[in-house]
């Protein structure tokens, strides 16, 4: 059974590995990936390197090392100024659209949460760095989600926040020794039941037993020009993790070969699977390819290694608040079902969380979520063939209405 330190290292090194593996496939379709490399099974770059996903995850991790559970939006805003906005930027120039919009607002003198009011507040920019909150709040998904919302208060709103909360809660559950179905259940428990994020996540895990094509078909919004939608990217990552039943190699490679925002989806899948299995599950040659951050996006993070940050997060965790010691006992107990029943959604969100975080998560308690997820991951009976045999006609539906039927022509994207 992996220790808390091994799971923490697995989560953040897994994120960095997924980021580096997925970076060459970012914004590509599966057909384009196949045309260039066949199927990606390892690093395809001569010198693999992480992107903004890894550097922002280091940023969020160091923020939690500094402030812990006392983190406030003011702390996050101050760190953005200290480590990013008030410095010269690297060649990535702040990275994604949500980060660019945030930096522009901060430099104009806007404060959180107004700084998050830009056109890309729904992006996966929070989701890509939220694993640090899950590592810090090991075994406490609700606390991890709370911290992720505070971290995101400077840069994201709405679905962008929900995506980060889902990732943070999932990693926290895995850090506590939860099985993959309980990890998915924890993610669903902390986001509103009727949110786009929750709907996409359910579609992905229901399709997971049918493989990556089915996951992609269930989630991807065909024809939309941007691939960094938080509800899509987070769902693809959880779908890859569920399809692999938490296995690190399979989860990351499934995410990479689905394309779209592949560095982020593989980073999230890697964080989830790394926290589930521990650092020993990461192939040695992949782990060896990850060095200190280059500072290409955030020069202030140059020289920092994700393993250093993982160790610091474990060291500063508060044992008395159900952190390292409680999560360790949970992992040793090996009873994910019993753990999942203890997932608690707070009735009220503390005053430090921005107004757009819902005061209550509607409808779903942890028991109902876990029951639904377990049912969705069970293999389903194949749909009956139409009269005369052959492939089902275009536009026909599978028995489960949440999952669109597969086009026999293997589409790269489907329309909603």
Q: How far apart are CA 91 and CA 295, in angstroms?
A: 9
Q: Is the pLDDT of residue 77 over 80?
A: yes
> Token pair for residue 195?
């949110």
In the prediction, which pLDDT does 391 show?
A: 40
- Residue 84 DSSP class: I
Is residue 385 domain-resident? no
Q: Provide the 3-class DSSP secondary structure of residue 67.
A: helix
- How far the first Cα of the chain sits from its last, in Å, is 42
Asked if 189 and 392 touch (Cβ cutoff 8 Å), the reply is no
Asked whether the predicted pLDDT for residue 409 surpasses 90, the reply is no
| Orientation angle between helical segments 4-22 and 324-333, nearest 10 degrees | 90
> For residue range 360-377, what is the model confidence (pLDDT) as tens digits?
333 334 455 566 565 555
Please tell me the distance from the alpha carbon of residue 408 to that of residue 168, in angstroms, as a whole number.
36
Judge whether residue 201 has pLDDT over 70: yes
Whether 409 is covered by a domain: the verdict is no
403 in a domain, yes or no? Answer: no
| Tokens at 386, concatenated | 């139409």
Residue 239 has pLDDT above 60, yes or no: yes
How many CB atoms sit inside 10 A of residue 95's CB? 22
* Overall average pLDDT of the 325-351 stretch: 32
Does 338 or 30 have the greater pLDDT score? Answer: 30
Instruction: Work out how many domains the chain is built from and give that number.
Output: 1
Q: State the pLDDT at residue 24.
A: 96
pTM: 0.80
Residue 87: its pLDDT value, please?
87
Pair 135, 275: CB distance under 8 Å: yes
Return d(Cα 407, Cα 217) in angstroms, integer.
9
Average pLDDT over residues 86-114: 85
Backbone conformation region of residue 346, classed left if phi is above 0, alpha if psi is from -120 to 50, else beta: beta
Q: Tokens representing 101?
A: 């919009």
Q: What is the mean pLDDT of residues 165-177?
A: 98
With bands split at pLDDT 50, 70 and 90, how would you rate the model's confidence at 247? very high
- pLDDT-derived band at 118, boundaries 50, 70, 90: confident
Q: Please give the helix or strand (H or E) that residue 370 lies within, else none.
A: helix 366-377
Query: Over 60: is that where the pLDDT of 156 sits?
Result: yes
CA-based R_g, the chain, Å: 20
Among candidates 42, 79, 81, which has minimal Cα distance to 61? 79
Which range marks the domain in which residue 132 is found? 4-377
Residue 133 belongs to a domain: yes
- The reply to whether 224 falls in a domain is yes
CATH of the domain at 191: 1.10.4080.10
Tens-digit pLDDT profile for residues 320-331: 333 444 444 333
- Closest to 159 measured CA to CA, from 98, 107, 100, 203: 98
Residue 307 domain flag: yes
Mean pLDDT of the chain: 81
Count the neighbouring beta carbons within 10 Å of the beta carbon of residue 224: 12
408: in domain: no
User: Is residue 397 situated within a structural domain?
Assistant: no
Question: What percentage of the chain carries pLDDT values higher than 70?
Answer: 75
């Amino acid at each position: 059974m992996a220790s808390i330190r091994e799971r923490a290292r697995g989560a953040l090194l897994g994120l960095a590995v997924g980021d580096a593996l997925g970076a060459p496939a970012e914004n590509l379709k599966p057909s384009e990936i196949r045309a260039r490399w066949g199927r990606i099974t390892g690093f395809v770059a001569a010198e693999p390197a992480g992107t903004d996903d890894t550097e922002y995850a280091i940023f969020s991790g160091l923020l939690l090392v500094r402030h812990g559970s006392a983190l406030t939006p003011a702390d996050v805003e101050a760190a953005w100024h200290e480590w990013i906005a008030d410095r010269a930027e690297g060649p990535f120039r702040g990275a994604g659209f949500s980060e660019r919009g945030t930096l522009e607002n901060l430099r104009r003198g806007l404060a959180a949460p107004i700084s998050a009011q830009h056109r890309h507040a729904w992006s996966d920019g929070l989701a890509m760095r939220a694993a640090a909150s899950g590592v810090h709040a090991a075994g406490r998904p609700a606390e991890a989600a709370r911290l992720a919302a505070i971290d995101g208060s400077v840069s994201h709103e709405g679905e962008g926040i929900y995506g980060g909360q889902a990732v943070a809660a999932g990693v926290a559950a895995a850090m506590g020794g939860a099985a993959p179905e309980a990890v998915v259940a924890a993610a669903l428990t902390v986001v509103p039941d009727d949110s786009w994020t929750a709907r996409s996540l359910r579609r992905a895990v229901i399709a997971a037993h049918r493989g990556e094509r089915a996951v992609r078909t269930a989630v991807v919004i065909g024809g939309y020009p941007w691939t960094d939608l938080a509800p899509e990217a987070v769902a693809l990552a959880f779908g890859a993790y569920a399809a692999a039943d938490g296995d690190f190699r399979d989860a990351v490679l499934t995410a990479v070969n689905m394309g779209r925002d592949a560095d982020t989806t593989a980073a999230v899948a890697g964080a989830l699977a790394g926290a589930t299995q521990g650092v020993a599950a990461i192939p040695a040659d992949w782990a060896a390819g990850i060095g200190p951050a280059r500072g290409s996006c955030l020069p202030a993070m140059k020289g920092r290694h994700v393993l250093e940050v993982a160790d610091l997060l474990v060291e500063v965790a508060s044992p008395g608040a159900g952190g390292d010691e409680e999560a360790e006992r949970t992992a040793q107990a090996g009873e994910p079902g019993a753990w999942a029943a203890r997932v608690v959604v707070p009735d009220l969100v503390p005053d430090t969380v921005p107004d757009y975080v819902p005061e209550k998560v509607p409808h779903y308690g942890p028991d109902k979520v876990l029951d639904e997820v377990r049912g969705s991951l069970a293999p389903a009976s194949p749909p009956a063939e139409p009269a005369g045999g052959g492939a089902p006609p275009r536009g026909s539906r599978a028995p489960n209405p949440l999952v669109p039927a597969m086009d026999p022509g293997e589409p790269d994207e489907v329309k909603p």
